[in-house]
Structures are given as C-alpha cells and as structure tokens.
Structure 1
Amino acid sequence: MTATAAEALAGQRRRRFIAPLRDQVDAACFRHPVFAGYGAYLDLLTAARWPDIDTLNARLPASAPRFVTQDADLLADGLHYEARIAQGRIATRAENWHDLCNALVWMRHPGIKHALNRQQCRHIDRIGTRERSPAQQALTQFDESGVIVQVRDTRLLELWDRHDWTALFHTEADCWRKGDITVVAVVGHALMEQGLVPGRLLIGKCLVVVGDAVDAVARVAESISADTCLAASAELRPLPLAGIPGWHAGQDVAFYRQTDYFRPLRDGRVYPQPL
C-alpha cells in the first residue's frame, strides 16, 4: 500500500461514509466483484433516474415483504424497523443508495434477509427496543457487512485463523483462482454502498462454509434461522476484501504487510468453527 493509500484508509476510519450523488457514480464501479451476483438488478443502479417503489417491488420474489416509502406518516406507527418488516413492509428511503443496495439483497437473497429479520424480532420480543443483545449486534453487522465464504481446502482456513494475510492472499493466490476458497456472496448492503467509491478498502464480516456444499447461501440462512450462529459479533471473521486476488490494484507483497488494513490477530482472539 502506498503512503497515499494508507492516508486514504485512515481517512475512511475517521469519517462517516457519505455515498456520492447518483450522477457522480461511474458505472464502471459495478464491475467490481463486490457486485458479483447482482447482474440481473444492475439496471436499478445504473439508470439515470432512481427507481420508484413500484419498480422495486416488481423485482421482488413473491415470498418477500414489500417496499414502502419511509416518510413521516409511516414512522408515525412507532414500530421498530424489524417489526415492520415482519408485518410485510420494508421502510425504504427515496433516492438513497444504502436502501437501494438493501433492496437488491432482498431481491437476490431473500432467505438470508428473512432469517435475519426473524432473529432480530425474536430478540426484540424478548428484551424490547431499549437494549440490543450481543446477538442483535452480530445480526446487524452481518446484515450491513456480511460476506459468505466457502472453503474447500481447510489449510487456508488455518492461515485465515492466524491472520497470515500474505500467505492467504499472495502465496496461495492460485487457491482463490481455483475455487479452493471463494466468496460465494456479498450480502452486506453497506459494503455494496461503499463499493460505489472506486479503490475503497472494504472489510467483510464473514460466515464460512467448509466443504462442497451445493448451496452455501442456503446453508447460512438455515443456520441463522436455527439460531446456531451469530450469537455474538466475535463469530464473524474479518476479511480485508482488497486482499483477494483481482479485487484491488497493486497487490504486491508490500501491500499485504500494511498492518493498518491487514491487521494482525489480536491476543486471545479465537474464531469459532465454520458452518
């Protein structure tokens, strides 16, 4: 990482992310792998005008809740955002990148979104809305920054466990190209929103499926629904996405040694077994 890149990363951490205006987004950014799997919906991101609620709802599977405009009248019901979804209404702000990216995930991965909502509502029913349990924090982190990774060669998981980023990304780059380890899906809509800015150094919060599962996304949705994962944020493995071969420019050995982005393992940090 160059000094300029390091300074940019420091700036990222100091500032709250503000998405660019629609006409300031270069459509080339949607070719980045963070948007892989959303090709059927990219017209909603690249069109000159923002899609309206009816347009979004027309792209949803029948089993999903419906998008509704978030305005003062809607919020007057006093319901929690998640409770409203459970009633079949996803509050969606007009002309808002964050909510539009969220809409795409509902379209592409409704099973994941349903599972997250059910668990959030379960905790709300138990403790109310004044507090947030550790599980709710984990569910929210995965909803915002979640990535599902499939690992076929468990030797690579050992490298990840100890944050040996140079080995995981650089030495074993061919393993990424062969599919021994692969990003199956980006489900975090905040990651997608940040991907609107080219070169931004993103960090995914990952759930890992080991082996040759036919549908790793469904496996994760089942685990969330069964409450066998995401009991706490510590279950989520951080993955510096810019390290994945082909996801960022300038991936030489020096790039992977920049500890302000490729952070070393914290003392005492132990990851749970993957799914």
Structure 2
Amino acid sequence: MDKIGSYEFMAEPFHCDFSGRLFMGHMGNHMLNAADFHSSARGFGMKYLMTIKRSWVLSRLAIEMEEMPAQYTKFNVETWVESAMRFFTNRNFRVVGADENGNEKIYGYGRSVWAMIDTDTRQPTDIFSIDDGAIKNWIVDDKECPIEKGGRVKMSDTAEFVSAIETHYNDVDINGHINSVKYIEHVLDLWSIDWYKEHRLKRFEIAYVAEAHEGDKLSFYREQTGEGEYCVRIVRSDGTETCRSKLLFV
C-alpha cells in the first residue's frame, strides 16, 4: 500500500456557495475524510481507535487555495503523514484535479496537526503505543507541501465583539464536542455575501484550544491584523477560549 493516499470527491451543488464553487468548510470536511480513509486503511483510524477508547482530535488546520473546485467538478484529495511525535502528528494534503485539456491542476494544499486522546480522560495519549508505533512506517518526509504551517494566531485584547451563537445537535460530532468544521462555518459567517462577492478567501487556519459542547454559547471576536488579514477568537459560555482562526482574503 502506498504511503500517500488519494481519494476522489466531487463538488456537489448543494456543497457550493452562491458563486458555484465549493464552500471552504466542505473542503475542510473532505480533507478530514481523506485523513480518516488513509489512517483507517493503514490500521490507525478512528474505527479501530474507538474500540480501545482512543480517538484522533484535530489540533490545527491550515488550508490555502488558489481556486475552489466548481460545482460538479471531480477532484482528488491526496494526504500523507509528514511526521509523528509522541503526542502529535503532522498530516498534509494536496487538492488536485484536471483542467479542460486533461493536464494536472492543483487547487491548493492543507496542513494539519492531530493529537490522540484517551476518550475517558480526554487527555493526550502516546501515539506510538498503537501497534508498536506502526505510524512511523507511513511517514513521508520528502513530498512537498509549499504552504506555511499554521502558526500562533496573535490577537490583542481590543478585538471587536461581532456576534454570539447557541450550539445545538447539528454542531456536535462523534467525540461529543463541537465539530471542527462547524467552527470554520461559523467563522466564515462573520462576513456577508456582499463581502464574498468582492473578496476571495485564499487561506484559512484554525487552532483548537479547548472543547465546547452542545448548549455552550460561543462568542466571536474579530480583529484586522493586516491587508485582507483577519483574526478571530471564539470564547465559550464560561469565558474559556475554544479556538483562534486567521483568514486571508484577496
């Protein structure tokens, strides 16, 4: 089995925005699905981990796109493990399709950091304890992923409060906390359709800090930190910061 996995998806019309191109949230979802397909086929996926009370939890995600696939377009998400440490592993993505002449077309790339947790204690656990560290056999350290890694999202205390939302059934995932992609969607909703008619989201990154659960109220604070660059802080009901995000519009 190849160390690099490649999985075909299609930009289904109801997963596309008003412009007829795939939502960033759905692109993130396809990347997470590719990660699950890849890890499951190689013996360290969620289906197996749940039987031993372990689970993968996304810590960081950065997606940088030159173009989003248009509706009905088929494309592949390639994924591979770049490195693995005791408590974290780095996984990369490449989104690739074909142009009208059948030549390879690269839509964009992604980078992610994952932790493995004990589902009872919710604490990080040793990744190398799974199958005698078999994940090491799947590391690919010589495949290019030309986008920057997600860094620390720096914000001041003067960030503007924008909105707050209640969380419900549809926000919660298999781990019992607010779904990683739902955060992306909620952040992107801080801008209007009119804004998206004039701006394209080139890069999106998010760092998850603490869990939120169904019933938590999430408050969103936004700050412009550069030309077309914005940072967002999400805080749950008890004042705990759950994640930070950085967006680059062009």
TM surpasses 0.5: no
Which structure: greater helix fraction? 1
Which structure: greater strand fraction? 2
TM-score by length of 2: 0.25
Bigger-Rg structure (1/2): 1
Higher relative contact order (CA 8 A, sep 6+): 1
TM-score by length of 1: 0.23
